[in-house]
A and B are shown apart, each in its own frame.
Chain A
């Protein structure tokens, strides 16, 4: 593996019947990422269950309950590497009652694979998965039209799915959509090019994942550095050292840059950018570094260092697309803790503007109750200002979670409009 290889995180959405687990199994198997002892275990289980041959889907089943029920109930992470890239798969279940898991898996993904059964075309689930991909601003969507072997590898069937998909997705905001006709079961166009579909001129799935351009997906314009903690070494050598530790959310910081600390508004210049045994001239997303400033200013966790000529909005009133994650419904006007980057404040949901029907994408204004898996547009008021960007511009400084202080549970995740 080459040293300059990149990491690509992608999510897979689909129901049990779409062949999602088989597709992942196929990707891992054909790219030689399954070890012999793992394969042996799957072979044993396949035989015990009376399956013909090796059931590749078994490879992705994680916890005991899932193995028994044959369904994926949580996000599971898989890893594989090719000579071109390292991949992290967030394998999420597709049923409507697992919308929250799909949202979780999608939150860090560079790409989403949406599976469509060639026999059934675009169904309610496809719309829901696509909606979540667009809501979470996954930059690249790959629609895999699966089970082509069951429609005699027909180009017509494939084109029909594309037409259906494009018709409804025109209303959504997905930057890059591609289509690939595959058979996960038979291995067509997953890793190896299919010999059954000469009419398809595009690349197989793996090649697409390997060559997709992702470095331009990072926001390089708006320099944002949420401070996680302050480093103050208790040693003679570094007596006056005061380093602000954090991870660059977006943009580029250079030594000498004029910066503003929010929310205080104090300004200074970057003196050094440090990491172990080296000082850097610049830092960019998603690097973890320690920044020192020319002036001594009071800075602590929750503050944000930004370039003075490009600041986020400091606001106590934010509009958010909120996905409810917890089994207990949202309490109207109750107080929650809100986490935004390293900042934590108290917050109240002031108003539910509307709720989405995640299947039809209709906006419901009469039913505003937020139960688990519901996605709603809400207005939130915080006790102190948050330094926010819109989620569309910045996935890090545009996202929040809500925590219920009575249980400490994470109850909701939101994207700032």
Chain B
């Protein structure tokens, strides 16, 4: 093979850095949407590369549902300190207290869809014109058609049938007052690519991704962590299992898998042998076949 070509990870990295620099150049006040999950950690790592030796020129924005894993919050705060960037928190609890949204009821109640209002409020009140997310096209079928630069109208809504065409590597982020964009630098990465890259770069991720012992209950085909927010059914029993999480969301809806993988090498090995998609353990996506698309249209991540 000739010398002058990039391998697939280098090419994905270069593409993501290019997108992040375009965001910086085309918008006034971009932020990185930071959930504490591996994808937003990856985006933050790539932003560090894109602007080195300068600091990351974006704030991190966290939509806090209040239903967090404590580990995630600790990780977030440590990272903020290390990078010297500022943090914007949009609180779902505040949105509930202000009467902007109403809490769902019942055993499967989550604050997942409530995040939409909090996110859009935080975008508006902080005058954010581009929110950079860690969404990937391989995650879910509605995301397969998402653009790198994705337009949102002044209600924060996505119109999947009327998206701007994106050709070559020319990105059009022009927008009117009140509208904003979402940018997805790791659109072309798969879950496997993310893990291979995290392993290669030795990127720090929350301990939740590694195998650990935890109190859990078995619900809808996965191990849901026990927490103060969990409402137990009569037939449900709390047990201690050695598990790890493939994705991180709210503690109420993120299911773990039984695993012994306690190093990045072992995790990457495990993921490559997986026969279920990572969102298969997310009950927010199980509600209907177009659950993700419906939330995205309204302004979801």
Knowing A77-B188, A413-B167, the reply to whether A6 touches B17 (Cβ < 8 A) is no
A77 to B272, CA, bound (A): 21
- For A232, the chain B residues whose CB sits under 8 A away are 54
- B165 contacts A275, CB within 8 Å? no
Given contacts A215-B1, A229-B25, A288-B17, whether A235 and B280 have CB atoms under 8 Å apart is: no
Q: How far is the CB of A63 from chain B (nearest CB, A)?
A: 5
The answer to whether B75 has its CB under 8 Å from any CB of chain A is: no
Which of A100-108, A114-122, A190-198, A353-361 is found at the contact surface with chain B?
A100-108
B51 touches A88 (CB 8 A): no
Question: How many angstroms between the C-alpha atoms of A286 and B272 in the bound complex?
Answer: 27
The complex places the Cα of A325 from the Cα of B24 at a distance, in Å, of 26
Give the one of B2, B165, B289 with max A CB within 10 A. B165
**B52 near A107 (CB under 8 angstroms)?**
no
A103 touches B167 (CB 8 A): yes
Residues of B within 8 A of A403 (CB): 172, 174
In-complex Cβ contact of A100 among B1, B9, B165 (8 A): B165
Name the CB-closest residue of B to A86. B8
- Could you tell me the distance between the alpha carbons of A402 and B13 in the complex, rounded to whole angstroms? 28
Q: Interface readout for A329-347 with B: 1 if CB under 8 Å, 0 if not?
A: 0000000010111100000
Q: Are B21 and A229 in contact (CB under 8 A)?
A: yes
Taking a contact as CB atoms under 8 Å apart, the answer to whether B275 and A62 are in contact is no
Q: Which of A34-42, A156-164, A179-187, A199-207 is near enough to bind chain B? A: A34-42
Q: B142 is contacted by which of A62, A78, A275, A288 (Cβ under 8 Å)?
A: A62
Within 8 A of B (CB), among A261-319: 274-277, 284, 286-288, 290, 301
- B280: nearest chain-A partner, CB-CB: A37
Distance in angstroms from B273 CB to nearest chain A CB is 11
Q: Are A36 and B168 in touch, CB under 8 angstroms?
A: no
B276 at interface by CB-CB < 8 Å:
yes
B158 smallest CB distance to A (angstroms)? 11
A290 touches B52 (CB 8 A): yes
Which of B51, B52, B137 has its CB near the most chain A CB atoms (within 10 A)? Answer: B52
Tell me if B289 and A88 are in contact (CB < 8 A): no
Query: A232 vs B24: C-alpha distance in the bound complex, in angstroms?
Result: 13
CB proximity of A257 to chain B, nearest CB, Å? 15
Cβ contacts under 8 Å, B9 to chain A: 3
| B192 contact set on A, CB distance < 8 A | 1, 81
CB neighbors of B among A224-266 (8 A): 228-229, 231-235, 237-238, 241, 243, 245-247, 252
- CB neighbours (8 Å) of B166 from chain A are 104, 410
- Asked if A382 CB lies within 8 Å of chain B CBs, one says no
A238–B11 Cα gap in the complex (Å)? 28
Question: Provided the pairs A7-B8, A77-B188, A218-B4 are in contact, do residues A235 and B53 lie with their beta carbons within 8 angstroms?
Answer: yes
Report which residue of B14, B15, B53, B167 has the largest number of chain A beta carbons within 10 angstroms of its beta carbon. Answer: B167
- Please measure, in the bound complex, the distance between the C-alpha atom of A290 and the C-alpha atom of B280, giving whole angstroms: 40
Answer whether A231 and B51 are a contact pair too, CB < 8 Å, given A64-B290, A104-B165, A339-B172.
Answer: yes
How many residues from B make CB contacts under 8 Å with A? Answer: 64
Residue with the greatest number of chain A CB neighbours at <10 A, chosen from B7, B12, B168, B193: B168
Mask of A399-413 contacts with B, CB within 8 angstroms, 1/0 = 111010000111001
A395 touches B7 (CB 8 A): no
Q: B141 to A61, Cβ gap below 8 A?
A: yes
Contact with B along A50-77 (1 / 0, CB 8 A): 0000000000011111010000011111
By a CB distance below 8 angstroms, the chain A residues around B206 are: none
Pairwise interchain contact B167-A233, C-beta atoms closer than 8 A: no
Count of chain A residues near B, Cβ 8 A: 81
Residue of B nearest to A399 (CB): B168
- Contact indicator per residue, chain B 14-54, by CB within 8 Å of chain A (1) or not (0): 11011001101100000000000000000000001111111
Contact of B25 among A4, A101, A228, A235 (CB under 8 A): A228
**B207 contacts chain A at the CB level, 8 A cutoff:** no
Residues of B within 8 A of A396 (CB): 168-169
Contact of A247 among B169, B200, B275 (CB under 8 A): B169
A168, CB-defined interface residue at 8 Å: no
The answer to whether B196 has its CB under 8 Å from any CB of chain A is yes
- Cross-chain contact B6 with A408 (CB below 8 angstroms): no
| Contact yes or no, A229 B24, CB < 8 A | yes
**Quick check: B21 and A104 within 8 Å, CB to CB?**
no
When C-beta atoms are compared, the residue in chain B nearest to A275 turns out to be B49
Given contacts A218-B5, A342-B25, contact A288 B165 (CB under 8 A): no
Does B52 contact A274, Cβ atoms closer than 8 Å? yes
Chain A neighbourhood of B51, CB < 8 A = 231, 245
Min C-beta distance of B119 to chain A, whole Å: 22
Q: Does B100 contact A (CB under 8 A)?
A: no
Indicate with 1 or 0, residue by residue over B265-297, a CB within 8 angstroms of chain A CB atoms: 000000010111100100000000110010000
Q: Within the complex, which residue of B7, B165, B277, B280 is in contact with A413, where a contact is CB–CB below 8 Å?
A: B165
Does A170 lie at the interface of the complex (its beta carbon under 8 Å from any beta carbon of B)? no
In the assembled complex, the Cα of A45 lies from the Cα of B141 at a distance in Å of 15
Taking CB atoms, residues of chain B closer than 8 Å to A339 are 170, 172
- Residue of B with least CB distance to A233: B54
Closest chain A residue to B274, Cβ basis: A35
A5 within 8 A of B: yes
Partner of B172, one of A63, A64, A218, A401: A401
Complex alpha-carbon distance, A352 and B260, angstroms: 65
Measured between alpha carbons, how far is A41 from B137 in the docked complex, in Å?
A: 18
A220 contacts across to B, CB distance below 8 A: 4
Are A63 and B5 within 8 A (Cβ)?
no
Apart from the given pairs A5-B7, A63-B142, A395-B168, 9 other A-B contacts in the complex at a CB distance below 8 Å: A35-B274, A35-B276, A107-B168, A215-B4, A218-B5, A231-B52, A286-B14, A399-B167, A410-B166
What are 17 A-B residue pairs whose CB atoms fall within 8 Å in the complex?
A1-B192, A3-B9, A62-B142, A63-B293, A81-B192, A85-B8, A104-B165, A104-B166, A108-B167, A216-B2, A218-B5, A229-B24, A286-B6, A340-B170, A401-B172, A409-B164, A413-B168
Instruction: Give A contacts to B, CB under 8 Å.
Output: 1, 3-7, 35-38, 41, 45, 61-65, 67, 73-79, 81, 85-86, 88, 100-101, 103-104, 107-108, 214-216, 218, 220, 228-229, 231-235, 237-238, 241, 243, 245-247, 252, 274-277, 284, 286-288, 290, 301, 325, 337, 339-342, 395-396, 399-401, 403, 408-410, 413
- 4 closest pairs, A vs B, by CB? A215-B5, A288-B17, A408-B174, A233-B54
- B interface with A by C-beta (< 8 Å): 1-2, 4-15, 17-18, 21-22, 24-25, 48-55, 137-138, 141-142, 144-145, 160-161, 163-170, 172, 174-176, 187-188, 190, 192-193, 196, 200, 272, 274-277, 280, 289-290, 293
